[in-house]
Structure 1
């Protein structure tokens, strides 16, 4: 096993190093006046130093982010803030990493990531920071498994526009707003790769702020298929994402009751079953059905989502 590959936890522990969500809101690093508002509206903020910031404002954006992360006005909580840095080819990455090294930042997004060597360099400069590669290029898609296995990586993210450009296409979506076949394929590929490597996946943005129905459909798909969170580009998108990730009352009641039964079978204390390995016991009966480990894990995930959406 190479130094960049580590075994991942199983079962309920999946994604334990990154559990933010479900609504992650992008905010330009050049707009510190929006930092606090974004933090209030979303579960976490992705402060962008890359595409959302024009070249002439990069240095000021870095200063804005460092100031906010160090809890000067306007402050950003390090536990719920991600920073998307620039690519190495931009010539801005070294300055980004130098600036962020002086903060208590927990998560950094690596756009257009393609090699484990990029991650090695970033991890060396920001030890202990969880890295989230953003799969946005054809090569990145092919290298996604290797990236996901890196010891510093805590989740996979993906994006559409750079991908379709890299493929030689002109638009990532059909006229009705749905993703074209190749984009849907890549989306599922990233999700499967992340799950196989036992880390969470983050779904990309819905760029159309006017198409609320498309956002609802994409958010429901993301929640049902297994994405831990979905990125947003406007505060008005946050509620739709949260609704998609919020379990129905009946589902919450079922999950709580099933976990209580699991705890009894396994001899666990109250609430221990929320986080215990589902294989602690074999199959058992619950409400006239036989329950095994996968169903226990599903119940744990329902309660995890319930808690996440109750925070706001």
Structure 2
């Protein structure tokens, strides 16, 4: 599942869904949680069911359910797990045990709905509770459905009683830098995609681009968006340039020509296995098939 850009869309707004479905996002996240008021949640479920039966699309259809403990999780899952759904985003998880519980629910609901077993994938917001922040070791034993992890600071800050999660210059304060890094490490341990959190100032395209550049440098492969205007910037930032791809092809070709070499010199610089892995990952991100 390609996940450079994922856009939140309130699940109770057909108008916003119609606009979002044509803007080039890799995935739309129909939101049943924070953006839907409690009196409209049942309506939002019915709207998602209707939208899932729509025409074929070139983006992944995801749904953010209400968290475990809300009393709404099973109703959300029963409503939306049906043909057309590609994945579930689980908020406020406490660790791998929550992922396995949701996965077990999905096992049964896929069969009941006639969905191919294993088709519905799971994504998680991995840092929204204090319990989650001390439970990252569990990701060393990956889930069969888990494909991506992102992080968030607002709910975590509320749970901790923080007055702010940002420094005066806009940087994350230290606890939230830790949350970001832990998400990145846990995604690596689980072998899934790491997605950066939302950039809330949707009018600041330059700031978003710089933040995405830093995220990609650090190892994130995509980002969640809260406004359609952010998608083009996110896609551009998380897509390798032609120069990047040309260099990656040279690295892969050099090691293919000398399969017994662990280290090679290319243009006066030394390259080894981590460089080869990074080059293959860059090519795979644009669909180029490279030998293992």
TM-score higher than 0.5 = yes
Higher alpha-carbon deviation: 234-243 or 208-217: 208-217
Contact 1:81 1:105 in 2 (8 A): yes
1:93 maps to 2:73: yes
Bigger relative CO (Cα 8 Å, ≥ 6 apart): 1
1:155 maps to 2:148: yes
Distance apart, 1:159 and its partner CA:
0.8
Q: Look up the match of 1:28.
A: 10
Q: Look up the match of 2:112.
A: none
Distance in 1 of aligned mates of 2:222 and 2:132: 20
Stretches of structure 2 lacking an aligned partner (at least 5 in a row): 108-117
Q: Look up the match of 2:163.
A: 170
Selected match of 1:106 from 86, 100, 125: 86
Distance apart, 1:178 and its partner CA:
2.2
Normalising by structure 2, report the TM-score. 0.85
Distance apart, 1:290 and its partner CA:
4.1
Contact 1:26 1:233 in 2 (8 A): yes
1:67 maps to 2:53: no
Q: Look up the match of 2:280.
A: 300
Contact 1:245 1:305 in 2 (8 A): no
Normalising by structure 1, report the TM-score. 0.80
1:250 maps to 2:243: yes
Higher alpha-carbon deviation: 157-166 or 39-48: 39-48
Q: Deviations over 1:279-304 (max 9, x none)?
A: x8633454454432211112122223
Selected match of 1:49 from 14, 28, 32: 32
Contact 2:86 2:121 in 1 (8 A): yes
SS of the residue corresponding to residue 223 of structure 1 reads: helix
Contact 2:26 2:59 in 1 (8 A): no
Q: 1:106 to 1:145 in 2, by over 3 A?
A: farther
Selected match of 2:198 from 205, 220, 229: 205
Distance in 1 of aligned mates of 2:278 and 2:4: 17
Distance in 2 of aligned mates of 1:86 and 1:257: 46
Q: Look up the match of 1:145.
A: 137
CA-based RMSD of the aligned residues comes to 2.3
